[in-house]
Amino acid sequence: MKRVYIKTYGCQMNERDSEAVAAMLRARGYDIAPSERDADVVLLNTCSVRDLAERKAIGKMNLLAHLKERKPELVLGYMGCMAQSRGASLAEKQSAVNLVVGTQRFHRVPEYLDEIFAGDGDAIVDVAEESGSESTIKDHVLGTNGDRQVAGFVSIMQGCEMYCTFCIVPYTRGSERSRPIAEIVEEVRRLVEEGVKEVTLLGQIVTSCGRKEIRKKNGKSAFVQLLEAVNEVKGLERIRFTAPHPKGFGDDLVQAYADLPKLCEHAHLPVQSGSNRILKAMNRGYTREWYLRIVDKLRAAQPKIAISTDIIAGFPGETEEDFEQTASLMRDVQFDQAYIFKYSKRQDTPAADMPDQVSEKEKERRNQVVLEILNSGMARMHQKLIGQTVEILVEGRSEKAGKRMFGRTRTNKIVFFDGGERHQGELLPVRIERATTITLYGDIAIHNL
């Protein structure tokens, strides 16, 4: 049996694509290797969102090419976003590469590997578009290593048509394509039958799911109709979704946080910048004031809601004044979590050619300033949680934090606690006993559990 190791870079969508490829490979008679050392095939599922992610994957492939000099039968491949944007040039530049598969052709990987093992050594490159490919990411590898997996990911749409000027995603993931609601609900049902209690609905612009195909009903968008349908799945306890766009947070979605008991009290609301001038240059389609109104509405609808965001530091033309607007927005909103990125020039995106690119040193400085604001806010928030009892869904044992068990609150905070394997998959009340800036430690609130 040939063994395949898949290394994934980037976002949860990429993780999910890799999981689906692994499931398809298993169904075809391949085995999934736990590390590249044991593998006959190594596939890198790549990310193009920032330059660093691309450089990491190329560097990794160079190392694998050295390994292949000693083990010539080793098959090497690129999948995903960088495969899509660079195509055949990857195999031309790195002759050790046997396979390049784009974002709409993941499901063809098993048959291409069969061909490579049967063939003459020519590289296979497939970055074609395929209608209906959004429905091919549906297989899972739950429980195959004996664990009870309690949280599952469901890919509900692919592609992006927002065309933010900094972002490569519309070019690597194609136009927006959504799966039908009934198909998504069926996949959630199957996961629940396998023991999953929490699902995260995934898409590049998840809040756009179904907007082309499904009309609004009683003022509710297709995405909210989907949330309502998933909320009805018996045995499911929690619903999350990512990655949304703030423009997707209409009044119907805000109200869903009040109405749908399974929808977790967490909204990821990527703001990118606090300056209206920069938001316009980014083509984000909202203003600072509009964004702050959404935050207020969410907090009014669901007072327990945690809000996280993405920030880009040093977008081209960002002045000290613009940056100060981002810093003040961070202080005003008090985010529960934020992912802060230094602007990274992406080929063929409009921002790459904009004047007044910010120096690396200045981007780093701005990155640090925003990080400090975030960290001091998070530390204060975590201190306030001490003494409170929160519900966690126990996901497993951590490799870090003294190998404690850990679970996630509905507000998406990880809590470590001293527990046993019997707690895995359980919804447990824990009392927060101790907190650092980024970590919460709790005790099981009701003993004998």
Q: Sheet of 99-101: strands edge to edge?
A: 31-32, 3-8, 41-46, 75-80, 99-101, 124-126
Q: How far is the CB of 270 from ligand SAM (least distance, A)?
A: 4
Residues 211, 245: contact at Cβ < 8 Å? no
User: Residue 346 interacts with ligand SAM (CB under 6 A)?
Assistant: yes
Q: Give the one residue of 84, 272, 275, 325 binding ligand SAM; rule: CB under 6 A.
A: 272
**Amino acid at residue number 274:** G
Distance set, CA 331 to CA 304, 334, 439 (Å): 19, 5, 21
User: Residue 343 interacts with ligand SAM (CB under 6 A)?
Assistant: yes
Q: Give the one residue of 208, 344, 409, 411 binding ligand SAM; rule: CB under 6 A.
A: 344
User: Residue 270 interacts with ligand SAM (CB under 6 A)?
Assistant: yes
Residues 205, 244: contact at Cβ < 8 Å? yes
Tell me whether residue 361 is exposed, middle or buried, using C-beta atoms within 10 angstroms of its C-beta: 0 to 12, 13 to 18, 19 or more: exposed
Which C-beta is closer to ligand SAM: that of 11 or that of 428?
11
Of 71-79, 83-91, 163-171, 175-183, the segment contacting ligand SAM by CB under 6 A is 163-171
User: Residue 335 interacts with ligand SAM (CB under 6 A)?
Assistant: no
Residue count of the chain, please give it: 449
Of 89-97, 286-294, 337-345, 413-421, the segment contacting ligand SAM by CB under 6 A is 337-345
**Amino acid at residue number 166:** F
Q: Whole-angstrom Cα distance, residue 97 to residue 78? A: 8
Q: How far is the CB of 368 from ligand SAM (least distance, A)?
A: 16
Q: How far is the CB of 349 from ligand SAM (least distance, A)?
A: 7
Q: How far is the CB of 268 from ligand SAM (least distance, A)?
A: 8
User: Residue 428 interacts with ligand SAM (CB under 6 A)?
Assistant: no
User: Residue 267 interacts with ligand SAM (CB under 6 A)?
Assistant: no
Of 24-32, 86-94, 339-347, 393-401, the segment contacting ligand SAM by CB under 6 A is 339-347
Of 296-304, 342-350, 396-404, 431-439, the segment contacting ligand SAM by CB under 6 A is 342-350
H or E segment at 68? helix 51-70
Of 36-44, 83-91, 164-172, 390-398, the segment contacting ligand SAM by CB under 6 A is 164-172
Distance set, CA 351 to CA 101, 163, 167, 346 (Å): 27, 11, 8, 8
First to last CA, the chain: 43
Q: Residues 311-330 vs ligand SAM: string with x where CB under 6 A?
A: -x------------------
Distance set, CA 37 to CA 3, 67, 74, 112 (Å): 10, 10, 11, 22
Q: Residues 45-74 vs ligand SAM: string with x where CB under 6 A?
A: ----xx------------------------
Of 297-305, 343-351, 359-367, 429-437, the segment contacting ligand SAM by CB under 6 A is 343-351
Q: How far is the CB of 208 from ligand SAM (least distance, A)?
A: 9
User: Residue 76 interacts with ligand SAM (CB under 6 A)?
Assistant: no
Q: φ, ψ for residue 3 (rounded to 5)? A: -110, 135
Residue 228 makes CB contacts below 8 A (sequence gap 6+) with: 220, 256, 260
Which C-beta is closer to ligand SAM: that of 164 or that of 263?
164
Which C-beta is closer to ligand SAM: that of 233 or that of 352?
352
Tell me whether residue 105 is exposed, middle or buried, using C-beta atoms within 10 angstroms of its C-beta: 0 to 12, 13 to 18, 19 or more: buried
**Amino acid at residue number 354:** M
Q: What is the DSSP letter of 123?
A: -
Q: Give the one residue of 130, 259, 310, 443 binding ligand SAM; rule: CB under 6 A.
A: 310
Q: Which of 190, 201, 186, 205 is nearest to 155 (CA)?
A: 201
User: Residue 85 interacts with ligand SAM (CB under 6 A)?
Assistant: no
Q: Segment 166-185, which members bind ligand SAM (CB under 6 A)?
A: 166-167, 169
Binding site for ligand SAM (CB under 6 A): 49-50, 162, 164, 166-167, 169, 204-205, 243, 245, 270, 272, 310, 312, 341, 343-344, 346
